[in-house]
Amino acid sequence: MKTVDELKLIISPEEIQAKIEKLGKEITRDYENKKLVVIGILKGAFIFMADLVRAIDLPIEIDFVRLQSYGSRTESSGQISITKDVELSLKDKHVLVVEDIIDTGYTLQYLKEILSLHKTASVKICCLIDKKERREVEIDADYVGFEVERGFLVGYGLDYDEKYRNLPGVYHLNPGYEPKGFIPSDR
């Protein structure tokens, strides 16, 4: 795919696939003989989820949730609501939440609270990218693909204003194109 000049590749499709193979093996080992439901957070996680579940060699169940956060387009405000709930029964099952990126942490904190009402056997988190720069609540993913210090990222499911989700790699959106309300540190 053509690269436009506002984008800088930071994680290539090959690096992503190699990491997913590794995560898939770890998850397969950790959940052997357990009832596992993998829950993807729409929309951002849809591509990561599709690749990750194919790297997990277990008879898993799959579901999706959709969360909406109020505030600016690019920042979680901490005010989050669920617009598409889980459809499967989660009772006594192990849940693995798949997220594209953790930023402030509000989204996952909220989802974990909701899932705790389902009497699950456990809830863990797998995220493709852990961005620590703007973390506001203490939340740690159990499986992390990549740690990225700063910047606004797009591609491989991640969007800016609903665009760039279909790029096969992960890109930095260059300064000047950076969304309003996003204050990058020295870069």
Q: Which of 7, 104, 128, 156 binds ligand IMP (CB under 6 A)?
A: 104
CB of 101 to ligand IMP, least distance (A): 5
Residues from 118 through 177 that contact ligand IMP (CB under 6 A): 131, 152-154, 158
Residue 178 touching ligand IMP (CB under 6 A): no
Cα separation of 170 and 31, whole Å?
28
CB under 8 Å to 2, separation ≥6 — which residues? Answer: none
b or e along 82-101 (b: 16 or more beta carbons within 10 Å of the residue's beta carbon)? eeeebeeebeebbbbbbbbb
Using CB distances below 5 to 8 A depending on partner kind, what does residue 106 bind out of Mg ion, ligand IMP, none?
A: ligand IMP
> Hey, what are 147's tokens?
């740690």
**DSSP summary character for residue 11:** E
Residue 100 touching ligand IMP (CB under 6 A): yes
| Residue listed under structure tokens 């279909």 | 166
Using CB distances below 5 to 8 A depending on partner kind, what does residue 76 bind out of Mg ion, ligand IMP, none?
A: ligand IMP
Residues from 4 through 43 that contact ligand IMP (CB under 6 A): none
> Hey, what are 66's tokens?
């959709």
Residues with active-site annotation: 103
Contact positions vs ligand IMP (CB under 6 A): 44, 76, 99-107, 131, 152-154, 158
